[in-house]
Amino acid sequence: MCGRFSITLPSDAMAQLFDSVPGNDLPVVPNYNVCPTNAVHTVRSEGGQRRLSAMRWGFIPHWYKAPNGGPLLINARAETIAEKPAFKTACRERRCLVPATGFYEWTKDAEDNRLPWYIYPKRQEVLAFAAVWQDWSRDGQDLRTCAIVTTAANAAISAIHHRMPVILAPEDWPLWLGEQGHGAAKLMTAPPEDALSFHRVGTAVNSNRARGAELIEPLTA
């Protein structure tokens, strides 16, 4: 599962990191609480050039008659992505990366209260989530949309949640983006257990209206 994340790296730094040409429609950063249906930064390969551009987080299959014409598809399961009608063409032909500086997951206490955790890279400046994208058009409305690919959590993260985003190392970006031929399916696994750190954060992030760097600060007793 990946339902919220943060991105704090400036857009020009993202463009440099991913060796991509930035678009003129990029979301405002920093954003410490990226939510479903928000515009997100994405990296895709097109005509031999990587492009950094905005997409709506929430994949809209072509048969939806409206953006809310079916379930909100923010994630695509790695185990079934190649068979699901919504994703099977995109996973072969339209793969992209979603940059993030961290993401949130939740546990519950004995009273069923949602307790948020912030998960972030130990060594890298930015995480690159594997994702797929889809153009959707209806009645003059044109949207470019995406979903983040998830997989079974590694042992370190499974104590918090049983799913996690597929996180790609820089050396794997070309294969995922289709720049190195076939074989991207083998990349849809969890990262090494020592790749990520995490800590509890305050419950303010439980609201999709919450903003500010304090959302990722460690919870103090």
Which residues does the annotation mark as catalytic?
2, 105
Structure tokens at 126: 């930015």
d(CA 105, CA 111): 18
From the list 39, 30, 38, the residue with the least C-alpha distance to 9 is 30
SS3 5: strand
d(CA 134, CA 95): 9
From the list 83, 190, 62, the residue with the least C-alpha distance to 130 is 190
From the list 51, 64, 78, the residue with the least C-alpha distance to 178 is 51
| Strand ranges inside the chain, DSSP E | 5-7, 20-22, 31-34, 39-46, 49-57, 75-77, 95-100, 102-108, 114-121, 127-138, 141-152, 163-165, 196-200
Residues 6+ apart with CB under 8 A from 170: 128
Helices (H), 55-186: 88-93, 173-176
